[in-house]
Amino acid sequence: MSRDRLRSSRKPYALVVSGLLSLQPLLAVPARSRDKPRSYAGFRSAGDRATGESPCRSHRSFDGREAVSLTQLVPSLSVAGKMEPCKIRRMRIVTEAFIVVETAEQAVDRLAELHGRATTALSQALKRYLKDRVEPDAVERKLFRYPELRLTYHCHGEVPLTTRAYAKVQLPGTYSVTVTHPAAFRKYLIEQLVPLMNDFTVTVEVGVSEQNIPYPYVVEQGDELAGTGVTAATLARVFPSTDLSAATDGIADGLYDWANTDPLPLALFDAARVDFSLRRLVHYTGSDWRHVQPWILLTNYHRYVDQFIVHGLEKLRDDPRFVKMVLPGNVIVDKSMDHGEAQAIVSSVVWHRYQMPAYHLIAEDGHGVTLVNIGVGPSNAKNITDHLAVLRPHCWLMIGHCGGLRQSQTIGDYVLAHAYMRRDGILDRVLPPNIPIPALAEVQLALQESAAQITGERGDDLKKRLRTGTVLTYDDRNWELRWAQERPLINLSRAVAVDMESGTIAAQGYRLRVPYGTLLCVSDKPLHSEIKLPGSANAFYERAVTQHLKIGIAALDLMRTQLNSLHSRKLRSFDEPPFR
C-alpha cells in the first residue's frame, strides 16, 4: 500500500498474516541489525489516546518457547495525520532469534539456558578434537557464542524520579550486554532488571550474540590439555581463542562513544571481560571465584588472615547465619565440624602457593565476607581489584598498616582516610592524579561508628586514637630516602599517613564503581625515629590486629543494613550504563 493511499484511507499500517512469509529474509539476518528501533518508535494516535491507554505502555508476552515477539513500531496516524507517543504492537513469530521476556526471572532463565548450551557444545567439541582430531564445522562453530541481554527503552518522556544510583536509563534506545555464567550472577541480574522493568517502559529480549566464547573459559581444571600433543597455537586456530582487544575497560574509563554507537552498553563489563577476570581470580586467590562474597576486606599483612580465621570459626560456631568457610585451595571448613577437626584443616592449608590468597566466610543469605591478603604495593592492589570488580561487590575496604606522619600520633592509632594523595603512578593513564577521589559518606560513617563500638570510646577519647585526613600512597617502599625532595609536597597535602595500597584501592573503587573505604593502623613513625623493629612490631601486632579487623567487619555489617544508600550516585558519570 503506498503512503498516499494510506493517508487517504486514514488507516494505520498493518502487519497481516498473509505477509508473514515475506519476513523470512528479515528473520535470517543477524538480530543486532534487524532489531534496532525505528526512528518513529514510540508514537501513538489520537484514537489511542481517546481509549484512555496510557502513553509508552509496552505489552510483553512470553510463553517459554523459542520465539521472538516481533515489535511493529509504527506511526499510528490520527485524523490530522499526526503521530504522538506511543503505541507498540507485537506479533509472535517462531524463530531461533531474540525473544521478548515478561519478567527478570525469565530473562535469567533464558540466559542460563543459552549459556549452558553454548559452553556444553564448545566443551564437547574441544574434547572430541583432543581425542580424535575432528574439527568443528561452520554450523557447530556458531553454537560457541555468549548469550546476549538486550533492553530497549522506548519513551522520550521524563525519567522517573528516583534516588537510586543504578537500574535507571537516561536515553531512549537499545542497550545490550553479553553475559557469562548467568546462573552464578542470577541475584545480581535480577536486582538490576526488576526495577528497570517496573519503573521504565522497556522491552527486554534474550538471544544469542555474535561474540565467541574463548575455549580456555570452558576448561575448568587445565589438565584436560596435558598429554594430548596439541599446542595452544593449534587450538587457537581451530577454536575461538582469547582476544584481549575485546576485553577492555573502555566503558568504565569513559572511552565509549555513546553518541555514535548502537546498541549502547547495558553494563560496565561484557562477558569476555568478566570471564577474563574470573580465571585470574582463581589463579591469584587459590579458590573458586564463586566463593567470593559481596563484602570484601583487603589487607597487606598475613596476621590479619590469622585473626580472620579465628573470627570465622567463632561465627560458624555461634552465628546461624554463617554456614562454612572456604580457604585457599578450595579447602572447606563446614559448620558441622568440631573445633579440633576445623583446626586441623586450617593448619593443613598451603596458602603460600598463591600470590594473593583469599578466605571466604560464607553466609546463608549471600552476604558473607571475603578477606584477601593482597601483599604489598599498588601493582597488587590494582591487579586484584581489576578482577574483583566484575563480581560487582557491594563494598571493599582496605584494612592494613601505615606509617604515621604526625608527631601527635602513637603506634596503634587508627587513620580514617578522607582523601588520597596518589603518588603510586599506576592509574595515571586512565585516572589522572588531578581527578579527586571523594570520600563516601556512608562508608566513612560506618567505619567511624564501628570504631566507636569496638573500642568503646567516643567523642574526644575516640579522636585521640582515630585521626581523619589525607593518606599518601607511594609505589616506592623506601620513599624516606627521598624525604628532602618529597617533604614540600607532603606538607602541602596535609597528609597524616603513608602506605602503598590505599590510594590505588580507592581510585579503583571510584573508577570501577565499587564503594570503597580505608581504615589504617599506624605501625611506625618513620619521620620521628619510631621505625619497625622486631620486638616492638610483634607487640604491636598482638595488641592491634584483632581490634582492627573487628572494626572492619563491624563496618561491613553496618553497611549491609544500608544498601539503598550505600551505592552512591557520586560514582556515576554523565554517560553511565543502566546496570550497577
Kind of pairing, strands 358-363 and 99-101? unpaired
The C-alpha cell at 164 is: 537510586
Blockwise average pLDDT, block size 10, the chain, 580 residues: 40 36 38 38 33 38 38 37 36 60 97 97 93 92 96 76 83 94 97 94 95 91 67 89 84 85 92 96 96 97 93 95 97 94 93 95 96 96 98 97 88 94 95 94 96 94 93 89 85 93 97 97 73 59 85 97 85 90
DSSP track, 489-557 = HHHHHTEEEEESSHHHHHHHHHHHT--EEEEEEEEEBGGGTB---HHHHHHHHHHHHHHHHHHHHHHHH
What integer pLDDT is reported at residue 553 of this predicted model?
Answer: 98
Contact indicator for 497, 469 with CB cutoff of 8 Å: yes
The pLDDT of residue 230: 84
**Measuring CA to CA, which residue among 388, 506, 392 is closest to residue 439?**
506
Q: What is the pLDDT of residue 565?
A: 85
Q: Find residue 530's DSSP bridge partners.
A: 525
Chain centroid, CA 483 distance in Å: 39
Per-residue confidence (pLDDT) for residue 182, from 0 to 100: 98
Backbone angles phi, psi at 42, to 5 degrees: 90, 35
Domain annotation for the chain: domains and CATH numbers: 3-94 (no CATH), 99-280 (3.30.1730.10), 287-373 (no CATH), 399-567 (3.40.50.1580)
Partner residues linked to 396 by β-bridges: 296, 516
What is the spatial distance between Cα 493 and Cα 208, in angstroms, rounded to a whole number?
A: 52
Encoded amino acid at 280, one letter: R
| Three-class secondary structure assignment of 47-110 | HHHHCCCCCCCCCCCCCCCCEEEEEECCCCCCCCCCCECCCCEEEEEECCCCEEECCHHHHHHH
pLDDT, tens digit, for every residue of 366-401?
A: 999 999 999 999 999 999 999 999 999 999 999 999
| Sign of the CA dihedral running 523, 528, 531, 536 | negative
Q: What is the pLDDT of residue 226?
A: 63
Q: What is the pLDDT of residue 246?
A: 77
E strand segments, 346-484: 358-363, 369-373, 395-404, 414-423, 466-474
What is the DSSP track for 118-164? HHHHHHHHHHHHHHH-PPP-HHHHTTSEEEEEEEEE---SPPPP---
Count of CA atoms in the C-beta half-sphere (13 A) of 231: 3
pLDDT at 534: 57
